[in-house]
Amino acid sequence: MFKIIRVNMSDLSIKTEDIPEAYQGLGGRGLTSAVVANEVDPTCSPIGPNNKLVFAPGLLGGTNCANSGRISVGAKSPLTGGIKESNSGGQAGGYLSRLGIAAIIIEGMAEEGKLYKLYVGKDKQELSAADDLKGLGNYATVDKLKRAFGDKAGFVSIGQAGEMKLPAASVAFTDREVRPTRHAGRGGLGAVMGSKGLKAIVIDPAEGELAPLVDKEAFKAAAKRFAKALQDHPVTSQGLTNYGTDILINIINEAGALPTRNFSSGRFETADKVGGESLNKITVERKGNPTRGCMSGCIIRCSGDYLDKNGDFLSKWPEYETVWAWGPNCEIDDLDAIARMDRACDDFGLDTIETGNAIAVAMEGGVKPFGDVAGAEELLAEIGKGSPLGRLLGSGAGAVGKAFGVRRVPVVKNQALPAYDPRAVKGVGVTYATSTMGADHTAGYAVATNIMNVGGSLDPLKPEGQVELSKGLQVATAAIDTAGLCLFVAFPVMDMPDALIAIVDMLNAKYGLSMTADDVTALGQKVLQIERDFNARAGFTAADDRLPEFFCQEKLPPHDVVFDVPDEELDTVFKF
């Protein structure tokens, strides 16, 4: 049933093909990484004709499994120069699965100055000119597409940042309310989409149907057990549901690991003003919806609607990493301002983590003072305009640090660090340093065990055991991303043995397999090995699996600790 759609932007041709043997048994991240590794020259220009952009829902997509509608986007990254999988919620993953599409592969490059949109339906795929969308942000783009294709479709688009091919550009996906609020943010994949001359993808779910199941009853029983695990675990049924991911602000601040003023401190004096509790309180007071799923089938519902002071929709609930990037990292404690900047990033098509870090580094470089709300918004607006300063800021924290002579530049493989200081959460520091993706907390979320005591407990301030923790989580995450599951399902999986068994049982029931938990581990390892091989061929070495030296030399208040996991241990992460 499932097919691959190949779109060649050079000659505007579209082909449908069966899934080749090399890609059998893969979905989501596993499939995007396999295609990139097999079909893309690791030394090519990320924004040239030889890169490929791959969209793939996961192995459990198109089913009634809870939280299984994620989508992976893959390419060679314009930001890191290595392989990249960026993951998003929204409706696209579920729609593609129900249409029987395992992947869309975008190849070649359109004629200079030409811009196109791609329509994907049950039995029809078509490219057409998108000149009327040129220069528009994601919100205006989606509004135009809705008028043309209706509000039952799912839309994938880039904003001005993607058209300008900026290394911090994201790919936007519409949510259940058909708003471009969900993003494959990391690694600049919006720039790859822009380089292809592809402004938008329209996914028409009409006539789509649930994916076929070899054993329907077994799948139904396993899916019920999995949903129960999500509903029973306190993180996925209470914390995230009531306060969103922003619940972490006060938790990480208390742990002394909340990067503040460009990673110069682990605590922000007014963190509570931007924490999840305040976010919920403001939302309820303004009569907004504080509990919303970003995709169909979500039972965690960690998102919400952020309304402005007039009660009008401003943005979806800003994620914890977004609140941190524009908040404590820039010394800003105004949730209204942070929501405005989140909306602007969604509209321009920018990764909030990379861009917030870029602004914080610029502040350290003297461009604006820390705490300058108007200044931060002004700098963000420059990116949307495409001014020389804006283009520099949209090139990421690494570029900004070089331009302004800043020594404390928090990047690994040129990708900016997220919202946990690796000196005070050393397990996630190992993930940042060694991940195939560049600094990425989602690649191996050791915060769960280091801080939240999920899956056991490991002292976040001590180096012992951190490599093994990160290693296991990176393997598990690669498998979860391949299945197309929301990363947050890891919380019950780490604490409740039957949650993992239920996932294995669903895969077996859907495909008629006889996998074990060990096979799922082997799948995760296979994906990581594919990615590591690509990066090695692109020129990456052990020297790229390191944190910037200031993390190893500058003590972080309040615990006055450095990152001290030995290099020799870091080099063992991928020795399976």
* DSSP secondary structure string for all residues of 285-345: HTT--S-B-SSTT-SS--B-EEE-TTS-EEEEPPPHHHHHHHTGGGT---HHHHHHHHHHH
Residue partners of 74: CB distance under 8 A and separation at least 6: 29, 31, 32, 33, 35, 36, 53, 54, 56, 83, 84, 85, 86, 189
pLDDT given at position 330: 98
Span 460-500, pLDDT tens digits: 999 999 999 999 999 999 999 999 999 999 999 999 999 99
Residue partners of 519: CB distance under 8 A and separation at least 6: 504
Query: Averaged over 310-331, what is the pLDDT?
Result: 97
Query: Averaged over 174-188, what is the pLDDT?
Result: 98
Rounded-to-integer distance, Cα 158 and Cα 151, Å: 18
Two tokens, residue 524:
């995760």
Computed over every residue of the chain, the mean pLDDT equals 97
Which phi and psi angles does 234 have, rounded to 5°?
Answer: -65, -30
Residue partners of 464: CB distance under 8 A and separation at least 6: none
Structural domains for the chain: 3-203 (3.60.9.10), 213-243+422-576 (1.10.599.10)
Two tokens, residue 30:
């596993």
Span 541-563, pLDDT tens digits: 999 999 999 999 999 999 999 99
Q: In this model, does residue 162 exceed pLDDT 90?
A: yes
- Residue 1's pLDDT band (cuts 50, 70, 90): confident
Span 73-105, pLDDT tens digits: 999 999 999 999 999 999 999 999 999 999 999
Place of tokens 């509608």: 69
pTM for this prediction: 0.98
Query: Measuring CA to CA, which residue among 264, 417, 248 is closest to residue 331?
Result: 264
Span 421-458, pLDDT tens digits: 999 999 999 999 999 999 999 999 999 999 999 999 99
Two tokens, residue 385:
């305009």
CA diameter of the chain: 62
